[in-house]
Amino acid sequence: MIIWFSGTGNSRAVAEELGKLTGGETISLPSAIASGGNVSVPSGDNDVIWVFPVHSWGVPEVVRQMIHDIDITGEDLTHHLVATCGDDCGYTDRMWRHDMEQKGWSTGGAYTVIMPNTYVTFPFFDVDTPEVRDRKLSAMNDRIAAIAKDITERQNHTDVKHGSFPSLKTGVIYPFFMRHLIRPDKFKVSDSCISCGKCAGICPLDNITLDRDRKPSWGKRCCTCLACYHICPSRAISYGSLTKGKGQYYFGINDRKR
């Protein structure tokens, strides 16, 4: 079984490909929680593969909460991690293993898949150039196939890209980011909004509502995945001034430079 969480589509694409290669059922984590949080893994399937993006070199806070809330039953289950990231993951794998241990679950392999960058609200952070984006996407399927083979053959390797200064990134920057930089009130919409509603439809947490004129507003349940910003066809959504001049990327849609 593959359980996934995705903002801009990278992790969903990886989860769906893993499902094809392993024959495992795929289910979105928010859907599982919305349905009561009780997941039963089919008989004969002993692997649970968690697929989600790295947020500021750690497990997205909303995913950690959902791991706490979910109940998964099955026979002799082993949990594996496949994290998507633009460059490196810090110690995301260690954080995930800790959360699994807190649930009393056994862990196996941990892997990263390098995907196009999506986080654009840090200074000097932007989407990848088309050349880098396409190179990452062209390598995606081979990487996923290698991970699927490793899991099905019970190799259970830890094959992640920690990057430089992982302790600093996960131990210091991650908690600062989660405490101070998840600010849904910073999202704004300009007059160029065409009222298409794509932002509300794509939000993985159903955090965006549309007014009578079909203009979006953001609630408090936000993980700043930026899916709403990246999917907007008229570039009407901004995150304060931090996204000014930045590009857009959503899996399956070519990125658009401002």
Residue 117 pLDDT more than 70?
yes
* pTM, full prediction: 0.95
* CB-CB contact of 100 with 79 (8 Å): yes
pLDDT at 231 over 60: yes
Q: Determine what percent of the chain is predicted with pLDDT higher than 90.
A: 95
Q: Could you tell me the sign of the dihedral formed by the alpha carbons of 207, 209, 215, 217, in that order?
A: negative
Burial (CB count within 10 angstroms: exposed 0-12, middle 13-18, buried 19+), residue 95? buried
pLDDT band at 256 (very low <50, low <70, confident <90, very high): very low
**Are 46 and 76 spatial neighbours (Cβ–Cβ below 8 Å)?**
yes
pLDDT at 258: 36
Q: What is the mean pLDDT of the chain?
A: 95
**Interval 142-154 mean pLDDT:** 97
More confident residue, 256 or 143: 143
Task: Tell me the per-residue pLDDT of 192-219, one tens digit each, with 9 for 90 and over.
Answer: 999 999 999 999 999 999 999 999 999 9
In this prediction, residue 226 carries a pLDDT of: 97
DSSP class of residue 233 equals T
Q: Which residue is listed with tokens 């990125």?
A: 255
Share of the chain above pLDDT 70, in %: 98
pLDDT at 25 exceeding the cut of 70:
yes
d(CA 29, CA 215): 27
